[in-house]
Every structure is written in C-alpha cells, then in structure tokens.
Amino acid sequence: MTIDIAYEAEEKLHIPYRRIIETVVCGCLDAEKCPYEAEVSVTITDGPSIRELNRDYRENDSVTDVLSFPMVDFGTPADYDNACTEECFNPETGELVLGDIVLNVERIRSQAAEYGHTQTRELAFLVAHSMLHLLGYDHMEEEEREIMEKRQREILDGIGYRRQRG
C-alpha cells in the first residue's frame, strides 16, 4: 500500500492528518473489498491552489473543498474485475494506481466549524468522499448521491469517525 501525502499549504492543521488520511484510505479499500495493494496520492493545499486546479482540470473557476482525480475508469463502483486492466497497475510496484486526492486546508477548518464537528471528522469525511470517487462512485443523480452518502456514513462509522448529533 502506498499513500503519498504532500502538504503544500502554509496554513497548518494541528491534528494527526497523516494518521487520519491513512486510516480512512485503508478503511475505504477494506470496505470496498479492494483485492489489490493500491497507490493513492493525497495533497493538502490552500484555496487559491485548489481553485486553479479546479479551473484547469474541471473547467470550474471556483474554490472547492476536495478534488478527486481517478486513474481507473470504473463502470460500476468498485467493480475491479471489469475495470482493472494491466495499464491500471504501477509496473514497478504492482499496485493498483487509484488516483489523486487534493484537499483544501481552509475548507477543512471552515466546514468543520460550519457543520459543528471537529477538523478530524471533516478531514476524514473529505478523504472518504474522495476515495469513493476514486473507486467509481458519483453523486450526479439522486440515486447515486444516496448510495454514495450511505457508503460514506457506513465507512466512517466503521472506523470510528462518526458525526456528532447535536
């Protein structure tokens, strides 16, 4: 398992972000029964940088909380048998290259305050959300959104990042 984590923002998170990211990535892969060792890249950046990426790669000139850049084209979420071809694997490590996650440190802070939970829970949520995108989930249609949100809750609850009810 390779989880590359780069911290490119000046603003620091004063939580054990590496442990949280690793726990959630592994929790998602376990929950989605990934049969391979996998490779994921995670970058923590700031608002202006994520806006630039969003504009350049998604043609959306706005700041967002997280971006997902999947490398595997899953037709059905987590359908490894039909999606994972030889090109999906790193030839040096043999790991399934799932893709990249980019997180906005400013939104982790602001959304945690807005939603009334900790920065730890917000980071865990954003990583789980993005991992599900890397595994082929989407939320463009209402039915897809409901399925994805249910999986996020199940995974986060299962690894101990429950949302506090007020």
- Structural domain tally of the chain? 1
Residue pair 20/131 in contact by the 8 Å Cβ criterion = no
Within a domain: 132: yes
- In this prediction, residue 109 carries a pLDDT of 96
Structural domain range at position 116 = 2-158
Within a domain: 77: yes
Within a domain: 163: no
Neighbours of 122 (CB within 10 A): 26
- pLDDT 10s digit of each residue in the chain, 166 long? 999 999 999 999 999 999 999 999 999 999 999 999 999 999 999 999 999 999 999 999 999 999 999 999 998 999 999 898 999 999 999 999 999 999 999 999 999 999 999 999 999 999 999 999 999 999 889 999 999 999 999 999 999 998 765 4
CATH of the domain at 9: 3.40.390.30
Q: Which amino acid is at 95?
A: E
pTM of the model: 0.95
- In this prediction, residue 88 carries a pLDDT of 95
Within a domain: 164: no
Within a domain: 137: yes
